[in-house]
């Protein structure tokens, strides 16, 4: 008798699995309105579960959709006689029909036998959260109408957030030093010193401790956070109606113009170096900060991830400045040669 009761449900599940969801416009709208963690949205068992719920709602209301287990794995569609007999007490209670797009079920059996699966914050989600927060705070900091005190605090928070994001990315990709001695730390630094995350950590630490508030320094931070946010939105929310309506075009533009953003960042980074030299003439001068930042510019000039953009900018500067120096200020050739020897050393 148990097998006879199961036969209609088996046929319904087979029909639900064979249904052409891709050509049904209702399925695309249904799936775009489901909010689940990104690491679950790509799993076939989760997609199959929501397809059965869609089939129950729009095609066959008599289809019984089993709830997903707490560990996220799918329930087997082929149940044996022993499993059906063991689940008989829970089937004695009336099963509420789910007509929405969520996975919540009501009733004593659901609350007693199932707990909601915890949301796992993977590396990409954490990076997106930090960079989205950095982008919002940085935009607040560069708005001219914002009070100076609030703008200064927002700038520091932007640098701190970017430093934390870069540090977390560096730890996720390279881990920790193998040994906490001089040789182990030296080998670890040699492996990460040319990475973009390490460069941004030093960049942020240079300005977060400075009394000189330069909003111009937030341009590389904005470009970096904007690039991370757009990449995450495109890869995880491409089916969302809200994304397709408001965010798709800006995200596509950002991903197709990453070279432009990198060129803009390199121009602003080099311009900051000259602004720090000019600031040495003011009461807010900081010789140590200026020296450290020019060491960082030297690293950016040689690091493979930023060398192409910085070398292009410096070549443009050389083509403009060198003829003027040779023509109007020839006495600067000697100190300029000394600086170039230090730069290329």
CB-based contacts of 277, cutoff 8 Å, min separation 6: 290
Which of 74-83, 202-211, 302-311 has the least mean pLDDT? 74-83
Task: Pick the closest to residue 271 from 238, 313, 234, 230 (CA basis).
Answer: 313
CA 77 to centroid of chain Cα atoms: 36
Higher pLDDT, 67 or 308: 308
79 band by pLDDT with thresholds 50, 70 and 90:
very low
Taking CA atoms, 307 is separated from 137, 178, 195, 205, 220, in Å, by: 29, 29, 11, 21, 15
pLDDT at 259 over 60: yes
Parse the chain into domains and list their residue ranges: 2-113, 123-309
pLDDT at 270: 95
Q: Look up residue 216 and give its DSSP letter.
A: G
pLDDT at 323 over 60: yes
User: Which residue do the tokens 């330069």 mark?
Assistant: 214
**Total residue count of the chain as it appears in this document:** 345
Which of 16-25, 30-39, 186-195, 325-334 has the least mean pLDDT? 30-39
Which of 87-101, 123-137, 248-262, 271-285 has the least mean pLDDT? 87-101
């Amino acid at each position: 008798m148990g097998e006879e009761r199961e036969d209609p449900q088996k046929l319904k599940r087979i029909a639900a699995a064979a249904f052409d969801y891709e050509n049904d416009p209702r399925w695309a709208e249904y799936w775009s309105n489901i909010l689940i963690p990104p690491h679950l949205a790509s799993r076939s068992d989760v997609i199959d579960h929501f397809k059965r719920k869609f089939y129950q709602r729009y095609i066959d209301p008599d289809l019984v959709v089993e709830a997903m287990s707490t560990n996220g794995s799918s329930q087997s569609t082929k149940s044996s006689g022993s499993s059906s007999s063991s689940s008989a007490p829970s089937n004695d209670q009336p099963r509420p029909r789910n007509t929405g797009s969520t996975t919540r079920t009501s009733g004593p059996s659901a609350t007693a036998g199932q707990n909601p699966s915890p949301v796992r914050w993977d590396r990409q989600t954490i990076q997106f959260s930090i960079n989205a927060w950095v982008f919002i705070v940085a935009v607040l900091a560069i708005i001219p109408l914002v009070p100076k005190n609030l703008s200064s605090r927002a700038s520091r928070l932007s640098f701190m957030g970017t430093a934390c994001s870069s540090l977390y990315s560096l730890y996720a990709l390279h881990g920790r030093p193998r040994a906490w001695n001089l040789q182990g730390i030296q080998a670890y630094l040699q492996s990460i010193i040319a990475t973009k995350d390490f460069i941004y950590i030093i960049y942020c630490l240079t300005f977060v401790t400075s009394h000189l508030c330069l909003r111009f320094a937030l341009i590389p931070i904005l470009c970096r956070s904007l690039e991370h946010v757009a990449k995450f939105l495109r890869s995880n929310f491409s089916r969302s109606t809200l994304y397709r309506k408001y965010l798709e075009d800006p995200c596509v533009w950002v991903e197709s113009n990453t070279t432009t953003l990198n060129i803009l960042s390199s121009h602003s980074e080099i311009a900051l170096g000259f602004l720090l030299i000019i600031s040495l003439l003011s009461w807010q001068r900081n010789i140590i900060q200026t020296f450290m930042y020019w060491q960082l510019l030297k690293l950016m000039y040689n690091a493979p991830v930023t060398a192409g953009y910085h070398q292009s900018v410096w070549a443009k500067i050389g083509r403009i400045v060198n003829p003027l120096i040779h023509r109007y200020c020839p006495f600067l050739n000697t100190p300029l040669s000394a600086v170039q020897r230090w730069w290329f050393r």
